[in-house]
Structures are given as structure tokens and as C-alpha cells.
A = this chain, B = another copy of it.
Amino acid sequence: MTLEWEKLFAGRVSGMSASEIRELLKLIDRPEIISFAGGIPDADHFPSAAIARAYEKVFQSNTGAGGALQYTISEGYTPLRDWLCGYMDRKGVKIAPDEVLITSGSQQALDFLGKLLIGPGDLVAVTKPTYLGALQAFSPYEPTYVSIAMDEEGPVLADLEAALARKPKFLYLVPDFQNPNGTTVSPARREAIVDLCTKAGVPVIEDAAYAELRYEGDFLPSLAAIDAARNGGVPSQVIHCGSFSKTMVPALRVGWVSGPKDVIQRLVLMKQAADLHTSTINQIVLHDVVSEIFDSHVKRLRTVYKERRDTMLAALEEFMPAGVTWTKPQGGMFVWIELPEGLCGTELLARAIKESNVAFVPGAAFFPDRSGRNTIRLSFSATKPERIREGIRRLADLLVRVSA
């Protein structure tokens, strides 16, 4: 007798589908393809030498490498949590080491927060579009999404108020250079969001994955900082998720979540039950590297990625036919394209791969309601400037043919 596994799966995963992004990434791994698909950092600009030295130091230490290779506490490596307290303090948020948990990338923080807060049928407020990985993290816990339209300043307040009136479990937001559309929430809108959510008693999950990658203008206070400023410097309403994947390297799988102690304490228990702790040696190495080079390395990355953003925006200006519009992100990794009404991003991708050797991500994947059919996401971070220009030229040529 063969087991009918499908019948044994719990309801919470029945709606899970393969990530379009990851499935796509499998198809486009050919050198002739110019890919704007993955939202990944450029491996050529990783701080490899500093990381190599840090691993070496672990094994040369007088006390031996034993501790770095052993189990550790679920909360995370204490010196790294201390460093994060200093980092967050510089950003206007006072947290104690027991108000931050080290996670295996900020993706894990999103999974844990879904597990902590979402019961089946609970409402969760997100923008449209929003980060696909957040939808993937939350969806197994069976929420119903209420989605909030965006303009160039962020979530539209009338929509936010309407959403909050329905008492969602939380609002999830990427305020800086949002994945996928590159939008940055304006200072006034940030204040208003914290206001409205505080009044409504609705927590905010702030995903700050890209916040360090600003290429122009002033750094804006995080929602966590605005929340803290109103609450004696400490977090009250906002749970803040951060990542070293974009500023350092993804492969160590180190991120963090900070927020009110009641929340972090629960997340620590959840971490223990889920995977005990994040890799000990990777936390030690990352702490060593960020202590030495965080500011200088991020500064260098900003120069590298700014050139790529500028190149992409200039190429779009130069090549794109009328009727195609795009965002002008102040930072991050993404430009968001709106195609003429009636065109479909997914159909365009199939032709782009086949006819033009160009790849990107269709925008519909980033809408919980799968609207946004005529949008596509382009990432400029992992592509060299000359290839960016060539890729945009090819894509524009295809769009001219498609629209003809």
C-alpha cells in the first residue's frame, strides 16, 4: 500500500506553491542570459578577505575552536547582540541584548513572526505590491491578507486606515527601497503610519533588509526609531527585522529581529524549538567582520550599486518606448516597471528568455491578490553596468515588438 501523502498534509500548507522567483532562477542560469531576476548582492563585491581572516582567527585562537564549533544559546552570540544594540542605538532605538534575537537571515524572523502572531483566518495588512518572501513566510499560518495601495510616498493612508479598522494582526512593511518596487516611505508618511498603528493597537513588522543601501538623499528614521522616540527610546509597537545578507554576505545566514521584550522572549523559545540556534561559528565570524569593516564596506557597496542604478535608469530613459513607466529608487536593488495596460509580465518573461536572453520577475507574484499583471521587477544589483545597458536595450526592443 502506498501512502497518500497529500491526504496527510495539514491544512496550513495546502496553499503553498513554488516560488516563482526560485523556479525562474533555475531556468536562467546560462551565461548568455542577462538576468535582472534575482534580488541578490554581487558576489564580486563580497568582503571575502575579511571573512577568510575571521574564520582563520577562530581556529588560531588560544582557547581553541571548540566553543565556536559547539552548541550555543538560542538567543544568539552575545557579542553580536551587543554590537546590534550599539548599531540600533545609533539609529535611535535603545534595545537591551535580550530584546534582539539572532535569526538565520531575516527570512526566518518573518517565519517566526507569522508563527507567533497569525492564527488561521487572521487578517494581515500588507502593501500591494509587497515582498514575495514575506507572503511565503506568512501564508502557511493561513492569514487573510488585506492589501494597501501604494503611491510614491508609500502606503496610501486612506487605505491604511480602512485596513486598520478591520483590526489586522499586524502591518508588514518594507519602508526603504521596497522589494519589489523600490519605493521609500516619506518622512511624513512614516510618522502617520506609526500614529495610526499605535492608535489602532496594531503592531508593525518593519523589514529593514535594504535600509543601508541608500544612494542619494538623507537616511530616514526607521519606523522602530519613530516608535521608540515616542516611548522613551525603547520599542513599543514596532518589531524590526534586519539582515546582513545585503550588507555583508547571504551565505552565513545571519539576520536579527528586535522589538519589545515580550515578543523577543517568545521568539527565543520558538528559535529553540525550530533549529536550536544559528550557526555558532558564522555568528562569531560575522561579529568580527562587522566590528572591523561594517561602515567602510557598506560605503563601498553604495558606490558600486549606485552606478548600477544610475546605469539602469539612464538606459530605461534612452531605450524604453512610450507607455512604459518606472520607479526611480533612492537605494536598494530594484526598479519597478509598469507596462502598458493589457500586457502581461509573465508572458513577457517567457518571450524575453526565449527571444532576447533577458530575465526578470513578473510583478504579479508580489501581489497577494495576484493583480499587477502588467508589472515587472528588475534588479540591478548583481549585473555589471555594461550588461545592464545591453539588457535594458534588449528588453526595450522586445517591448517595441510586443506593442507593435
Contact = CB atoms under 8 A, between A and B. Distances in A.
A183 interface: no
A158 interface: no
A383 interface: no
Given A19-B272, A55-B55, A140 B117 contact: no
A324 interface: no
A71 B251 CA distance: 6
Contacts of A5: 203, 260, 262-263
Interface stretch (A101-109, A172-180, A347-355): A101-109
Nearest to A53: B59
Contacts of A319: none
A137 interface: yes
B19 A270 contact: no
Interface in A3-39: 3, 5-6, 8-13, 16-19, 22, 26, 38
A321 interface: no
A7 to B, nearest CB: 9
A278 B71 CA distance: 16
Contacts of A270: 13, 16, 140
Interface stretch (A144-152, A279-287, A329-337, A361-369): A279-287
A293 to B, nearest CB: 14
Contact of A266 (B16, B70, B74, B260): B16
A65 interface: yes
Contacts of A16: 266, 269-270, 273
Contact of A116 (B9, B44, B133): B9
A194 to B, nearest CB: 12
A186 interface: no
Contact of A117 (B10, B236, B278): B10
Nearest to A7: B201
Contacts of A275: 103-105, 107-108, 111, 253, 275
Interface in A97-147: 103-105, 107-108, 111, 115-119, 122, 133, 136-137, 139-141
B19 A122 contact: no
B55 A69 contact: no
A139 B115 CA distance: 12
A38 B6 CA distance: 38
B43 A67 contact: yes
A277 interface: yes
A198 interface: yes
A1 interface: yes
A344 interface: no
Which one of A6, A103, A115 has the highest number of Cβ atoms from chain B below 10 Å of its Cβ? A115
Contacts of A278: 104, 253
A237 B3 CA distance: 7
A36 to B, nearest CB: 16
A274 B137 contact: yes
Contacts of A277: 253
Nearest to A55: B55
Nearest to A51: B69
A250 B69 contact: yes
Which one of A43, A65, A275 has the highest number of Cβ atoms from chain B below 10 Å of its Cβ? A275
A137 B250 CA distance: 26
Nearest to A70: B43
A107 to B, nearest CB: 5
A72 interface: yes
Interface string A279-300: 1111000000000000000000
7 contacts: A2-B236, A9-B266, A16-B266, A55-B55, A108-B275, A253-B276, A281-B282
Nearest 9 A-B pairs (CB), nearest first?
A43-B66, A251-B280, A52-B59, A10-B119, A69-B249, A136-B273, A5-B262, A108-B275, A104-B275
